[in-house]
Amino acid sequence: MIIIMRPNATAKEIAAVEQQLIDYGFKTHPIYGETRTIIGAIGDKRLLSMNQMLMMDGVENVVPIMRPYKLAGKELKKDPTVINVKGVSIGANALAVFAGPCAIESQEQFSGIAAQVKKSGANILRGGAFKPRSSPYSFAGLEDEGLKIMANAGKEFDMPICTEVLDTRDVELVAKYADILQIGARNMQNFKLLREVGKCSKPVLLKRGLASTIEEWLMAAEYIMSEGNENVILCERGIRTFETSTRNTFDLSAIPVCKELSHLPIIADPSHAAGKSKYVCALAKGAIAGGADGLMIEVHNCPEKAMSDGEQSLTPAMFSQLMTELSPIAAAVGRTL
Nearer to a copy of itself, 106 or 138 (CB): 138
CB of 235 to a copy of itself, least distance (A): 16
Please report how close the Cβ of residue 130 comes to a copy of itself at its closest, in angstroms.
8
DSSP letter assigned to residue 210: T
Cβ proximity to a copy of itself, 131 vs 202, nearer residue: 131
CB–CB of 306/271 below 8 Å? no
Measured from the CB atom, the residue of 112 and 286 that comes closer to a copy of itself is: 286
- Measured in degrees and rounded to the nearest 5, phi and psi for residue 3 equal -105, 120
Q: Which long-range contacts (CB under 8 A, 24 or more apart) does 33-39 make?
A: 35/7, 36/4, 36/5, 36/6, 36/7, 36/9, 36/60, 37/5, 37/9, 38/2, 38/3, 38/4, 38/5, 39/2, 39/3, 39/5, 39/14
DSSP 157-192: HT--EEEE---GGGHHHHHHH-SEEEE-GGGTT-HH
Q: How far is the CB of 38 from a copy of itself (least distance, A)?
A: 5
Exposed e or buried b per residue across 85-116, where buried means at least 16 C-beta atoms within 10 angstroms of its C-beta: beebbbbbebbbbbbbbbbbbebebbbbbbeb
Residue 117 or 193: the one with the smaller Cβ distance to a copy of itself is: 193
Minimum CB–partner distance for residue 283 and a copy of itself (Å): 6
* Closer by beta carbon to a copy of itself, 85 or else 252: 252
Q: 315: burial class by Cβ within 10 Å (0-12, 13-18, 19+)?
A: middle
Signed CA dihedral, 262, 264, 265, 267: sign only: negative
Residue 41 bridge partners (DSSP): 28
In the complex, least distance from residue 88 CB atom to a copy of itself, rounded to whole angstroms: 24
CB 24 to a copy of itself: min, Å: 11
Shortest spacing between CB 184 and a copy of itself, in angstroms: 9
CB of 88 or CB of 104, closer to a copy of itself: 104
Contacts of 296 (CB under 8 A, 6+ apart): 98, 99, 126, 162, 205, 235, 237, 267, 268, 269, 271
Kindly report the backbone phi and psi dihedral angles of residue 299, in degrees, each rounded to the nearest multiple of 5, phi listed first: -130, 130
Nearer to a copy of itself, 7 or 115 (CB): 7
CB of 285 to a copy of itself, least distance (A): 4
CB closer to a copy of itself, 88 vs 287: 287
